[in-house]
């Protein structure tokens, strides 16, 4: 599933290739990725001829303004969520199509920005008023890469759920997914089922630092890396041992997601 580091990579891809370039053609190969009520013809009419402004990211959402600076968010604005399997691909020349390419935006250079998604779980919205963008952003917590330690602690203490469930809740902190959360909890030596409000100030501070470190390294690579010394580097191995203490790792469903943790480093 694309998490904050992946979406930041997509934002940089768009920024480097599409910003300020005119969209000459729009092909909606599968309207199933468009929000309910937004048909392919209406989408194409709104997008064709536009020049994207600087792409923005908040949590796992990418915002692509297509209007001018007279509105707060450059409406019309595309609001893109990549669900479980989505992503942007930049194709130059006459690159072969892919069966999971759902939307193709053709630019004046002949290149294309393609929205590619196998499972089509979320997709693309179009905001035609600033209030529609605000409605989305107001439903999200602060961006995980930017939230201060104080706000991070306050928001987690305000939940009654386990710490993993709280970190996955996009209304608490936006951008974290299963891999980032497990990695940060392992680094902070925090059990995924501990109650958020029971963590001490010291523990919350350590978790905030661990989260920041995971995100900074992952953003550089555009994904959560399967790196030696990382929990994510061994989480899918048949014989999983903690990179820190060599204890056999636990694997179970927590907060509805497959969770990996070290019973020695992360006692309950």
Query: Does 102 participate in catalysis according to the annotation?
Result: no
The catalytic residue among 3, 8, 112, 183 is 3
Q: Which residues contact 266 (CB under 8 A, 6 or more apart)?
A: 185, 186, 189, 190, 191, 192
The catalytic residue among 2, 65, 76, 243 is 2
DSSP structure string for the chain = ---HHHHHHHHHHHHHHTTT--EEEEEES-GGGBPTT--HHHHHHHHTT------EEETTEEEEE-S-TTSTT-SSEEEEE-TTT-EEEEE-SSPPP-TTEEEEEEETTS-EEEEE-SS-SSEEEEE-SHHHHHHHHHTS--BTTT--HHHHHHHHHT--SBHHHHHH-TTTSBS--HHHHHHHHHHTT--TTSBGGGS-HHHHHHHHHHHHHHHHHHHHHTS----TTSGGGTTTSSS-B-TTT-PBPEEEEETTEEEEE-TTTS--
Query: Does 257 participate in catalysis according to the annotation?
Result: yes
Query: Does 60 participate in catalysis according to the annotation?
Result: yes
Query: Does 2 participate in catalysis according to the annotation?
Result: yes
Distance CA 138, CA 134 (A): 6
The catalytic residue among 11, 50, 57, 60 is 60
The catalytic residue among 48, 206, 257, 263 is 257
Active site residues: 2-3, 60, 257
């Amino acid at each position: 599933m694309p998490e904050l580091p992946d979406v930041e990579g997509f934002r940089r891809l768009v920024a480097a290739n599409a910003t300020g370039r005119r969209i000459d053609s729009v092909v909606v190969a599968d309207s199933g990725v468009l929000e309910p009520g937004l048909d392919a013809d209406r989408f194409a009419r709104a997008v064709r001829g536009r020049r994207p402004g600087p792409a923005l990211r908040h949590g796992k959402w990418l915002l692509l303004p297509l209007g001018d600076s007279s509105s707060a968010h450059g409406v019309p604005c595309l609001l893109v969520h990549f669900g479980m399997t989505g992503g942007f691909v930049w194709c130059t020349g006459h690159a072969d199509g892919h069966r999971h390419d759902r939307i193709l935006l053709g630019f004046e250079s002949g290149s294309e920005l393609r929205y590619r998604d196998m499972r089509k779980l979320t997709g693309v919205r179009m905001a035609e008023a600033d209030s529609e963008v605000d409605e989305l952003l107001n439903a999200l917590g602060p961006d995980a890469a930017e939230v201060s330690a104080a706000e991070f602690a306050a928001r987690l203490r305000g939940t009654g759920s386990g710490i993993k469930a709280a970190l996955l809740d996009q209304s608490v902190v936006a951008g974290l997914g299963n891999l980032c959360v497990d990695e940060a909890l392992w680094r902070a030596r925090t059990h995924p089922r501990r109650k958020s409000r029971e963590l001490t100030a010291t523990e919350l501070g350590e978790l905030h630092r661990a989260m920041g470190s995971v995100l900074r390294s992952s953003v550089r690579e555009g994904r959560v890396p399967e790196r030696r010394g990382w929990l994510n580097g061994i989480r899918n191995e048949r014989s999983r041992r903690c990179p820190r203490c060599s204890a056999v790792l636990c694997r179970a469903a927590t907060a509805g997601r497959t969770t990996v943790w070290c019973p020695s480093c992360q006692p309950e």
